[in-house]
Amino acid sequence: MHHFIYKNGLLHAEDVPLPQIAKAVGTPFYCYSTATLTQQYTIFSNAIEGLNAEVCFAIKANSNLAVLSLLAKLGAGADVVSGGELRLALKAGVPSEKIVFSGVGKTEEELRLALDTGIGQINVESEPELRTLSAIAADAGKTALIALRINPDVDPGSHDKISTGRRTDKFGISWKLAPSLYRTARELPGIDPAGIAVHIGSQITSLGPFESAFLRVSDMVTKLRADGFNIRTLDLGGGLGVPYVHDDNAIVPTPKAYGDMVRRTVGHLGCKLAFEPGRIIAGNAGILVTRVIYVKDTEDQRFIIVDAGMNDLVRPAMYDANHDVLTVTEPRLKDVLQPVEIVGPVCETADRFTKESYLPPIKPGDLLAILTAGAYGAVMSSSYNTRPLVPEVMVRSEEFFAIRRRPHFEEMIALEGLPPWLK
């Protein structure tokens, strides 16, 4: 699954022992494996082989420039959700025609940037956005290739906060109202309604919801074509789940099974396809390495207090996520595993990585690795509690490089200033 494994008694990232990186960049830090990123991208691409398709990595899952450059070299396109991400994708070397732009609140400035850079497709999520884009495109004498993102009203069976395709969610255009908006789009200047887009959520662990959504999309293609539309692209979004704890492996669908389902549901339509995987590419390719500060025993439990906090990895606090945690020193056979609660230093009770982990005896100074932190990890971090953003390190066999360094205190507060009356 990934390349974080024990060798000679120590957890390694590929061929680099993690204590060596900790010594070089300090803790906590994110660490990404080139081999795992490559493997995951390849597995996904192979799963959809034979389909006329583009894999547009969802940059919001991991937007580090080095990670994007690696994926761009492997042939990935990009799914972007802001002007910043669009610029980043271009800087990483993603060809503009392989970029799709999603999101419910694109500003005029962002839409203009998208048209100016000639990206492949803009996924429109509302009538006002459609009219704004039309005005900008017509004004610039350009035609925007668009898809309407439809809301298929499907519950993906994932966490509430990452479900996006139910009728009460803010995303997309109701699949019932979409046909009439396509007719509006056809009449508007500067708009070519070329496709349909759908994305129903993230960390989806069964194929059923995808299948329901894709069948609705397939139905809509048939209806729109009968109405004279030249529908030629389908953007099927991302959302495939990954194993977070070891016993998840059995429940997560494989990319291969997903690919077969895609063929079954929309393969016959002759459309060019786009996929927007994020988590399945980057999730298991990254870990967060942290050092134990204190071991605190109370009447009820043992707290392992580490130097990473919810500001560095918010998923447990935000989505009730469980991540496997490993000791960097390999447990010995005779070690008795003890139940511990792993918490950070941030002044919030929500600052907890695991409620009950079974770990070998731990002492201050030990290193722990929080697994499956490569997606929605570093990108969602903040400097809450005036803690510097943590460095990110990329490993390739026995080499490693800090692809983002830790900021100094002065850099952290450089944007702040005192008004004259407080000086």
DSSP conformation class of 406: P
Which of 12-15's residues contact partners 24+ apart within 8 Å by CB, and which partners?
A: 13/287, 13/393, 13/395, 13/400, 14/395, 14/396, 14/397, 14/398, 15/395, 15/397, 15/398
Give min distance, CB of 66 to ligand PLP, in A.
19
In terms of CB distance, is 58 or 122 closer to ligand PLP?
A: 58
Q: What is the DSSP string of 72-95?
A: HHTT-EEEESSHHHHHHHHHTT--
Binding residues among 365-384 for ligand PLP as defined by CB under 6 A = 375
Return the SS3 of 161.
helix
| Cα–Cα distance for residue pair 85/78, rounded to 1 Å | 9
Residue range at the interface with ligand PLP (CB under 6 A); choices 11-19, 55-63, 91-99, 354-362: 55-63
Report the alpha-carbon distance of residue 249 to residue 66 in Å, rounded: 28
Binding range to ligand PLP, per CB under 6 A, among 43-51, 62-70, 113-121, 274-282: 274-282
Between CA 315 and CA 312 the distance in angstroms is 9
Instruction: For 98-111, give the DSSP string.
Output: GEEE--TT--HHHH
Considering only residues 14, 79, 341, 366, which one is a binding residue for ligand PLP as defined by CB under 6 A?
79
Measured between alpha carbons, how far is 372 from 378 in angstroms, rounded to an integer?
12
At its nearest, how many Å lie between ligand PLP and the CB of residue 225?
A: 24
Quote the least distance from Cβ 107 to ligand PLP, whole Å: 17
Shortest Å distance, C-beta 235 to ligand PLP? 8
Stretch that binds ligand PLP, among 138-146, 184-192, 275-283, 363-371 (CB under 6 A): 275-283
Cβ atoms 196, 269 nearer than 8 A: no
Q: Which stretch binds ligand PLP (CB under 6 A): 31-39, 273-281, 327-335, 341-349?
A: 273-281
Contact 352, 317 (CB under 8 A): yes
Residue 78 or 221: the one with the smaller Cβ distance to ligand PLP is 78
User: Residue 359's closest CA among 339, 344, 378, 345?
Assistant: 339
Q: Which of 2, 12, 60, 98 binds ligand PLP (CB under 6 A)?
A: 60
Say how far apart CA 254 and CA 260 lie, in whole Å: 10
Q: Is 61 a residue that touches ligand PLP (CB under 6 A)?
A: yes
Letters for 320-349 (x = contact with ligand PLP by CB under 6 A, - = none) are: ------------------------------
Contact in structure between 271 and 221 (CB atoms under 8 Å): yes
Q: How far is the CB of 24 from ligand PLP (least distance, A)?
A: 30
Q: Restricting to residues 176-205, which ones interact with ligand PLP according to CB under 6 A?
A: 199, 202
Binding residues for ligand PLP, total number by CB under 6 A = 18
271 counts as catalytic: no
Q: Which of 64, 82, 102, 233 binds ligand PLP (CB under 6 A)?
A: 102
Q: Is 315 in the site for ligand PLP (CB under 6 A)?
A: no
β-strand pairing of 10-13 with 16-17: antiparallel
Residue 148 touching ligand PLP (CB under 6 A): no
Residue 137 lies near ligand PLP (rule: CB under 6 A)? no
- What string of H, E and C letters represents the secondary structure of 269-298? HCCEEEECCCHHHHHHHEEEEEEEEEEEEC
From residue 216 to residue 255, the character string flagging contacts with ligand PLP as x (rule: CB under 6 A) and all else as - is: ---------------------xxxx---------------
- For the CB of residue 83, give the shortest distance to ligand PLP in the complex, in Å: 16
Using CB under 6 A as the criterion, which residues of the chain lie in contact with ligand PLP when the complex forms? Answer: 58, 60-61, 79, 81, 102, 199, 202, 237-240, 276-280, 375
Catalytic residues: 347
